[in-house]
Amino acid sequence: MSAYTGKIHEAPQLLLAAIETDYGTDAVPTTANVLRVYDLQVDVLKSQMITRNEVRPFQGAQIRTPAQLNRGLKFKVEAQGSGNVITAPAYGGLMRAAKMAQTSLSGLATIVSTAPVPVTVPTPPTGAWTFAKTHAFAGLWDTTVTVTCTTGGASGTAVATLSAPASPDGSVAAWSAAGVTVTNGTALTLPGGATITPTITTPWVVGDSWTLQLTPPGTVFNPVSTNFDSMSFYYYSDQGDLRRLTGVRGSVALVVEAGIPYWDFTMTGLFNGAQSAVMPTNVDKSAWLNADIASPRTVPYFGVLSVQPVFKTARFDLQAKTNFTPRVNQEFVNQQDHDGKATITWDALPVSVLDLETAIATGATTAIDLRIGTAAGTSIHVNAPLASPTGYTLGYDQGIATHAVDLPLYPRLGGDDITFKVM
């Protein structure tokens, strides 16, 4: 038998992945399902070693048999949109396999409210009205429109002031329209090109006030607690080796630092052996766009604990508890739970600006908002509405004091502990 003299090189490599219709059934990904990843780590064979502890009249190694075979993958994907707000990013399937739901938000759905929300302080409104959505919102920032009655009356008599605050980064100015006569069937113009058609059902009274929520079009990813998706992966390596993973599930984190913002995926899949196969070479990755380098010019807003710290790194980690689960007559990858956490390192602030230790000691809660990108189709908005600092580490970076802060992310109604909106 002659020795094999060839070498298997690190490059070329290729990774394909497709969403499965039925869990664990090979979705047979093609070149249309090519992934653009980097820092790929393939744990080609993970196993639980079964040792036969036989009683023997001599010493030596006991026979070991590998069992519960599975595979693991770790890789990064640049965090960027598709270039079009109504087109989902190419990594949507990966997010779904990482315990996230994918929802497209476009058209009239950008007017989030389905009815006026009464402002009850100091007193609830006396009047009442409904509206039909007639034109979509095209702004770049979520906003709340307040409708306040300044002249009471029914349709054609009631007059209102409509207003909305400036965007958090100041790039969009505050908006208002005063002296607007509200007439049934006549459109009201809102910020960002949105319009609604009102119908007053009970005459308004001066001081009555309501709010409406508007949100930009885009693709929304948020955690799920049931109906977990899975993917099939094909990993090609040099010399025509193919390793297939089915039933793949995992977790994801968004990492933002000075450099390329990226999604950090950790995946586990079922073992299917290896085989010889021709690696496809004619692949099109044009749907996978380069992310903008994170800098003051591309990260317009970061807010937490009522301040806007200068930050060095931010990691928003779903921390899905993904386990390979063996049973006698079935093997599967189980999404047990998730325990989201943000870890953010920012330049230390004096106590007079942010008393971080008191916030930790008192269990203070906060929303976290981060915006990456400034142009439609290439932006990502991160929102965690209920976080709480639980500890921090003091450090120094180039002589500047830093605080590395841990902030668990809590759900309110489920699926809202962290939201990534690509828009």
Two tokens, residue 111:
């007017």
Q: Mean pLDDT over residues 241-255, rounded?
A: 97
pLDDT-above-70 percentage for the chain: 97
pLDDT of residue 398 exceeding 50, the answer is yes
Which of 5-19, 291-305, 327-341 shows the lowest per-residue confidence on average (mean pLDDT)?
A: 5-19
pLDDT category of residue 11 using cuts at 50, 70 and 90? low
Q: Mean pLDDT over residues 321-347, rounded?
A: 95
Residues 37 and 123 in one domain: no
Residues 115 and 247 in one domain: no
Q: Which residue reads 């059902």 in tokens? A: 201
Give 3-state DSSP helix, strand, coil % of the chain, rounded to 5. Answer: 5, 50, 45
Q: Mean pLDDT over residues 89-93, rounded?
A: 98
- Per the structure, the complete domain to which residue 173 belongs is given by 107-216
In the chain the first and final C-alpha atoms are separated, in Å, by: 59
Q: What DSSP letter does each residue of 400-414 carry, written as one string?
A: EEEEEEEEEB--SSS
Residues 166 and 100 in one domain: no
Residues 87 and 134 in one domain: no
Residues 89 and 203 in one domain: no
Pairing relationship of beta strands 320-327 and 159-164 according to DSSP bridges: unpaired
Higher pLDDT, 52 or 402: 402
pLDDT of 421 = 97
pLDDT category of residue 344 using cuts at 50, 70 and 90? very high
Q: Mean pLDDT over residues 2-23, rounded?
A: 76
* Residue 63 placed within a domain: no
pLDDT category of residue 239 using cuts at 50, 70 and 90? confident
Residues 199 and 115 in one domain: yes
d(CA 156, CA 148): 15
Residues 300 and 417 in one domain: yes
The whole-model pTM stands at 0.91
pLDDT of residue 188 exceeding 70, the answer is yes
* Residue 3 placed within a domain: no
* Residue 390 placed within a domain: yes
pLDDT of 355 = 97
d(CA 210, CA 161): 11
* Residue 10 placed within a domain: no
State which of 216, 242, 277 marks the end of a domain: 216
Q: Mean pLDDT over residues 200-211, rounded?
A: 98
Across the strands, what pairs with 354?
none
Residues 84 and 207 in one domain: no
* Residue 21 placed within a domain: no
Two tokens, residue 102:
């994918």
* Residue 22 placed within a domain: no
pLDDT category of residue 6 using cuts at 50, 70 and 90? very low
Two tokens, residue 31:
């070149």
Count of the separate structural domains present in the chain: 2
Residues 268 and 386 in one domain: yes
Rama region for 378: left / alpha / beta (φ>0; ψ in -120 to 50; rest): alpha
Residues 88 and 196 in one domain: no
* Residue 18 placed within a domain: no
Mean pLDDT taken over the chain: 94
Residues 162 and 284 in one domain: no
Q: For residue range 37-71, what is the model confidence (pLDDT) as tens digits?
A: 999 999 888 878 889 899 989 999 998 888 888 88
pLDDT of 7 = 46
pLDDT category of residue 10 using cuts at 50, 70 and 90? low
pLDDT of residue 5 exceeding 50, the answer is no
* Residue 6 placed within a domain: no
Residues 185 and 241 in one domain: no
Q: Which residue reads 């998706």 in tokens? A: 229
State which of 190, 216, 242 marks the end of a domain: 216
pLDDT category of residue 395 using cuts at 50, 70 and 90? very high
Two tokens, residue 420:
């990534």
